[in-house]
Chain A
Amino acid sequence: MGHSPSADTPAVSRRDFLYTAATLGSGLALGLRLNAQQAGAGQRPGAAQPTRPPEAFIRIAPDGTISITTPAVEMGQGGHTSLPMIMMEELGGDWRKLQVADAPADRVYNNPLNNRQTTVGSFAVRGWYNELRRMSAAAREMLVAAAAQNWGVAASECTAANSVITHTPSGRTTSYGSVAAAAALLPVPQQPALKKPEDFKVIGTSPARVDVPNKVDGSAQYGIDKRLPNMLYGAIRLAPAVTGKLKSFDDTAARAIKGFHSTVALDNAVIVLASSWWQAKKALEKVKTEFDPGRLGGVDSAKVSSLLRAGFTEAGTTTLNNGAAERVLAAAGHVIESDYEVPYLAHACMEPMNCTAQVTSEGCEVWCGTQAPQDAQAAAAEASGHPAERVKVHTLYLGGGFGRRGESDYVGQAVRAAKAAGRPVKLLWSREEDMQHDYYRPAAAIRFRASVAADNTVEALECRVVTASEPNFGANRPPSYTGGMSDCRYQFPNFRVTGVNKDVGLRFGFWRSVNLSHNPFMFEGFIDELAVLNKQDPYQFRRSLLQHEQGLRQRAVLDLAAQKAGWGKAPAGRFQGIAVTEGFGSIVASVAEISARGDNIIIHRIVTAIDCGIAVHPANVLAQTEGGTMYALTAMASGEITLNNGAVQQSNFHDYPILIMSQAPVFEGHIVPSKEPPGGVGEPGTGSVMPAVANAIFAATGKRLRSLPLSRHNIELSVARA
């Protein structure tokens, strides 16, 4: 799938939304219109933004129910709570009357930041913040105006809060539900007054997440839970190498399995359909298949590693070149050189990939968890032969996304199977297929070279990043995988960052925190090496590189983490490591406090500080930062996807273990108070903990870890409770 932002002007079918609005509550729903210039103003120049009819986002029924359609899906990151919070803040709606629904596939829901309907890149809050506030404030002003008209008073004499409009001089009140129909007929204010941050009543609080109640009683509906009448269940076997193709299959033995319906051959897989998933799985085991491995044939992990390292001496693309690092390093008497490397990683969402599809002569419907509903729609259109406008995507809860469900491979497969069967099909991957057919976090390596001046300051630093595949954000852009260094805040007189792509053919994907999942471990590790070489305290050394104007915000985050962790004051026998990262509009610093008993590293606590601008839902900001930390520690401890003849060797949680309760360290999170616009919070928490722990391990043992996972070094992570 392509990740480039769409540059064309989306065609918005306003009629559909008005119709939807009109059907709710006997035609008394609030329908608002903002003009296109207003709605898309101030965002990404060059890419036309869709007109956004507010009724596609907010509807108010006569009984006062406020239905909010969220452009962000819910995959655990809290989008179904945080986006409605932003809207309810400006709307002045009663939180108890809120109903939240997922958006259909439609360009009006394209995120203003990337102009795509994707819940990725920690974009939801930071991309929608202004637009949702403006839309909601306009709605509030219209509701107030309608009430004022009814009363024959000036709107300026009225206030609105908790879905109630009050005429202050007389004390008269009316509800949003009562005036919604009249409000819908009024002109839409184009410059609605927005609240000042100091007047926020919702933003900055931590209400209960709207999705929690249904997630404690089994009623939450995930993609895997969809059931349709007359539905068949599908089990899939994909080519062992992700570049593989199906050569032949023989399902004779499978036909004897009870419940067997049919076998559907795809270009790169076979799907067995049966009356239950268990029957489908059992029958699939009886199908004989022959695959051609394709481009990845013969590729193993040793080859990947040697290819990466070969990239250290190739030209590549330079993404940062301040000063003359090359010349200074060439002339330097002593150059410090370190190579770092990290492996491929799988997302391993708890809910294996799945999709339920129905194809008729009229159109196609799919039900699934997806981070990209329009991509799912396009995949279903292509597979069904119906045009996109005849494909309806029903987004259900995602049992984890982390970037994996931004891909739509499983959607196309389900649709092909449903079309072949002429019946609805629920396609569900086994854990093994999920592990072995992911879009992997690319393996990466960096060679660092630095020289130090007589006064112990770093005079030149060069970073050469090599990844095994490059996320393609669009043509004619510099490589994105140097992020975390090419945009770093540390100041060096001569600083050069170069990226080299050595794509071996294993498909890559966006993995929680993307570049920050690999670069900070390596970069902040080398920064630590420089600090030690210069006999400087690692925290003070980083501080010294952040004394300039553009470094102050990062320095403050570093300071907060150090202060809360009691940097330099660890109890006897304990050691600290520190690191800071910036990305997705937020800055995160972590301090790891550990002790070592031989090769057993005991984490006593991880202290993390985040500056994400305005924290819309502080408790969720911390939950996401903690979740990102745990996601990173899993990768650090044992996360490694290896290849043999192009096929992924790991298959399930026994050989791709995930951190569990007894391995989860004590986590303390702190938020830097801020009035800056919100940054992202889903991903930033993943970057800084890996180098912080590695740097602490160095402090404790003198062992500098330049590759992951720790299991490769026979190091075992465990935790101590306070």
Chain B
Amino acid sequence: MITLTINGKKQQVDVEADTPLLWVLRDNVGLTGTKFGCGMGLCGACTVLLDGEPMRSCALPVSAVGSKAITTIEGLSKDRSHPVQQAWIAENVPQCGYCQSGMILSAVALLKKKPQPTDADIDAGMTNICRCGTYSKVRKAIHRAAGNDKT
């Protein structure tokens, strides 16, 4: 049994130690908002926060999580009220939406480090893949969440 702190709640899971956190969240805990995209930490669809730091959960063995607090998209707010979620809604960012859980959590982490990010900060900090090409809206939404509404 491994004990995890997920979205503020302690939970015990019965999985092999090498199981990537992604699959524990999706298949054992039932939090399917975190997505599988590549399995190699390349695309960022599986991004969650570990003590506030963005982490690609598809390549992270659950045994490496330790006591760090895991935040998934479901734990960001109860009612889509997190400023980044609100900005995403205001800018109508998602298309297929599959990458957006990871995008949003990456943006949350970026804004924590850089509360007023420049375009260059966004370029450097947002490395998730969006196949629909919503990047300009992601950028606008990050500026909006930072209070720098460029639109």
Interface residues of A (CB under 8 A from B): 74-78, 206, 208-209, 211-222, 224-225, 227, 233, 258, 276-279, 348-352, 397-402, 428, 430-431, 619, 623, 626-631, 652-654, 658-662, 664, 666-667, 721
Closest to B86 in A: A216
Closest to B123 in A: A662
- Is the pair B131, A217 in contact by a Cβ cutoff of 8 Å? no
- Is the pair B94, A212 in contact by a Cβ cutoff of 8 Å? yes
Residues of A within 8 A of B77 (CB): 217
- Given A216-B104, A667-B136, CB of A278 within 8 Å of CB of B23: yes
- Given A218-B34, A222-B98, A627-B134, CB of A278 within 8 Å of CB of B27: yes
- Given A76-B95, A662-B123, CB of A626 within 8 Å of CB of B88: no
- Is the pair B36, A619 in contact by a Cβ cutoff of 8 Å? no
- Is the pair B42, A652 in contact by a Cβ cutoff of 8 Å? yes
Q: Count the A-B residue pairs with Cβ separation under 8 angstroms: how many?
A: 179
Distance in angstroms from A713 CB to nearest chain B CB is 23
Residues of A within 8 A of B100 (CB): 215-216
Rounded to whole angstroms, the CA-CA distance of A706 and B42 in the bound complex is 31
- Is the pair A659, B133 in contact by a Cβ cutoff of 8 Å? yes
- Is the pair A276, B23 in contact by a Cβ cutoff of 8 Å? yes
Distance in angstroms from A130 CB to nearest chain B CB is 26
- Given A216-B80, A350-B45, A400-B98, CB of A652 within 8 Å of CB of B40: yes
- Is the pair A653, B43 in contact by a Cβ cutoff of 8 Å? yes
- In the complex, whether B28 has a CB less than 8 A from a CB of chain A is yes
> Which one of A278, A400, A619, A626 lies within 8 Å of B136 (CB-CB)?
A626
Distance in angstroms from B19 CB to nearest chain A CB is 5
Given contacts A212-B97, A350-B35, A661-B123, 5 further A-B pairs with CB under 8 A are A217-B74, A224-B35, A351-B35, A400-B98, A661-B135
- Given A216-B89, A224-B32, A225-B32, CB of A397 within 8 Å of CB of B95: no
Residues of A within 8 A of B23 (CB): 276-278
Rounded to whole angstroms, the CA-CA distance of A667 and B127 in the bound complex is 19
- Given A75-B96, A400-B132, A661-B127, CB of A217 within 8 Å of CB of B19: no
- Is the pair A217, B124 in contact by a Cβ cutoff of 8 Å? no
Rounded to whole angstroms, the CA-CA distance of A233 and B132 in the bound complex is 28
Residues of B within 8 A of A218 (CB): 31-34, 72-74, 101
The majority secondary structure among interface residues of chain A is loop
Rounded to whole angstroms, the CA-CA distance of A631 and B135 in the bound complex is 12
- Is the pair B95, A350 in contact by a Cβ cutoff of 8 Å? no
- Is the pair A208, B89 in contact by a Cβ cutoff of 8 Å? yes
- Is the pair B88, A399 in contact by a Cβ cutoff of 8 Å? no
- In the complex, whether B65 has a CB less than 8 A from a CB of chain A is no
- Is the pair A350, B122 in contact by a Cβ cutoff of 8 Å? no
Closest to A435 in B: B38
- Is the pair A661, B126 in contact by a Cβ cutoff of 8 Å? yes
Distance in angstroms from B98 CB to nearest chain A CB is 3
Give 18 A-B contacts (CB < 8 Å), ordered by A residue: A76-B94, A76-B95, A77-B95, A216-B73, A218-B32, A218-B74, A276-B27, A278-B16, A352-B37, A397-B98, A400-B132, A431-B40, A653-B38, A658-B43, A660-B135, A661-B122, A664-B133, A664-B135
Closest to A75 in B: B96
Rounded to whole angstroms, the CA-CA distance of A430 and B42 in the bound complex is 13
- In the complex, whether B55 has a CB less than 8 A from a CB of chain A is no
Rounded to whole angstroms, the CA-CA distance of A630 and B132 in the bound complex is 8
> Which one of B15, B129, B138 lies within 8 Å of A350 (CB-CB)?
B129
Closest to B80 in A: A217
Residues of A within 8 A of B57 (CB): none
Distance in angstroms from A2 CB to nearest chain B CB is 26
- In the complex, whether B54 has a CB less than 8 A from a CB of chain A is no
Closest to A628 in B: B133
Residues of A within 8 A of B104 (CB): 216
Distance in angstroms from A355 CB to nearest chain B CB is 15
Rounded to whole angstroms, the CA-CA distance of A619 and B92 in the bound complex is 9
- Is the pair B135, A352 in contact by a Cβ cutoff of 8 Å? no
Top 8 closest A-B pairs, CB basis? A218-B33, A630-B133, A76-B96, A399-B98, A76-B95, A215-B97, A218-B73, A662-B123
- Is the pair B16, A76 in contact by a Cβ cutoff of 8 Å? no
Closest to A350 in B: B98
Distance in angstroms from A272 CB to nearest chain B CB is 15
- In the complex, whether B69 has a CB less than 8 A from a CB of chain A is no
> Which one of B32, B99, B133, B137 lies within 8 Å of A629 (CB-CB)?
B133
Distance in angstroms from A519 CB to nearest chain B CB is 21
Residues of A within 8 A of B127 (CB): 660-662
Distance in angstroms from A379 CB to nearest chain B CB is 22
- Given A208-B89, A278-B23, CB of A397 within 8 Å of CB of B96: yes
> Which one of A74, A215, A277, A654 lies within 8 Å of B40 (CB-CB)?
A654
> Which one of B95, B101, B124 lies within 8 Å of A662 (CB-CB)?
B124
Residues of B within 8 A of A428 (CB): 36
Counting chain A CB atoms within 10 Å of each CB, which of B37, B131, B136 scores highest?
B131
Rounded to whole angstroms, the CA-CA distance of A575 and B128 in the bound complex is 30
Distance in angstroms from B131 CB to nearest chain A CB is 5
Rounded to whole angstroms, the CA-CA distance of A180 and B117 in the bound complex is 52
- In the complex, whether B149 has a CB less than 8 A from a CB of chain A is no
Residues of B within 8 A of A209 (CB): 92, 94
- Is the pair A227, B97 in contact by a Cβ cutoff of 8 Å? no
Closest to B130 in A: A350
Residues of B within 8 A of A227 (CB): 30, 32
Closest to A348 in B: B131
Distance in angstroms from A656 CB to nearest chain B CB is 10
Rounded to whole angstroms, the CA-CA distance of A560 and B24 in the bound complex is 52
Rounded to whole angstroms, the CA-CA distance of A104 and B37 in the bound complex is 27
- Is the pair B132, A627 in contact by a Cβ cutoff of 8 Å? yes
- In the complex, whether B76 has a CB less than 8 A from a CB of chain A is yes
Distance in angstroms from A94 CB to nearest chain B CB is 20
- Is the pair A400, B131 in contact by a Cβ cutoff of 8 Å? yes
- In the complex, whether B39 has a CB less than 8 A from a CB of chain A is yes
> Which one of B16, B40, B72, B92 lies within 8 Å of A208 (CB-CB)?
B92
